[in-house]
Amino acid sequence: MILMAEPTEKQKIGRLGEDIAIKYLENKGFTIIERNYLKKCGEIDIIAKKAGVIHFFEVKSVTRENISSSAYSYMVAKCNAPRGTDSYRAEDNLHPYKLKRLSRVIQLYLFEKHSNGEPEWVFDAIIVQIDTKTRRARVKFLENIVL
């Protein structure tokens, strides 16, 4: 019997952020192809398709208190979001080393799934700021990031 470790608060926030990002993308017309594509050198959080283009998404989530509502705010539906705050901007974690690792995983995915030719693709990021008190989240879509 294999015992699974209880997820950490950071992992719970990350999973919640990915769930919110998927709902956001589906509402924007994306078709989700795969989630958490994992290889030895890294992981792609979400792989989606829209208008014939494959989008590789890195999702960065952070908890924030008192996020004001806006056009990009979504109610976090029926979830028990863990408490906690982080004092940095989530997008700051898209540093050169992380981008290089993501590039390797993308190339492996394309080789594995599209060996007959490379399709059009882009790398994007979704930043999710979660307010655990109001159970709301703000989503920021960073498009076409250069790797």
Residue 39 forms part of a structural domain? yes
Question: In the block, which residue shows the tokens 């906690």?
Answer: 84
Domain assignment present for residue 3? The answer is no
Tokens of 103: 């590039």
Q: Please say whether the dihedral angle defined by the alpha carbons of residues 77, 79, 85 and 88, taken in this order, is positive or negative.
A: negative
Q: Who contacts 57 (Cβ-Cβ below 8 Å, separation ≥6)?
A: 21, 25, 44, 45, 46, 47, 48, 124, 125, 126
With a cut of 80, say whether residue 125 has pLDDT above it.
yes
Tell me what the pLDDT averaged over the chain comes to: 83
The reply to whether 126 falls in a domain is yes
**Residue 4 lies inside a defined structural domain of this protein:** no
Phi, psi of 106 (to 5 degrees): -60, -45
76 in a structural domain = yes
Residue 67: inside a domain:
yes
* Greatest Cα pair distance in the chain: 49
pLDDT digit string (tens) for 37-83? 999 999 999 999 999 999 999 999 988 654 444 433 443 433 334 44
Domain count, the chain: 1
Q: Is residue 147 a part of any domain in this protein?
A: no
Q: State pTM to two decimals.
A: 0.80
Look up residue 94 and give its amino acid.
Answer: L
Distance separating alpha carbons of residues 143 and 68, to the nearest angstrom: 23
Residue 121, domain CATH: 3.40.1350.10
Residue 21 pairs in a beta bridge with none
What is the domain extent for residue 37? 9-142
Taking residue 63's Cβ as centre, other Cβ atoms within 10 Å add up to 24
- Note whether residue 130 is domain-resident: yes
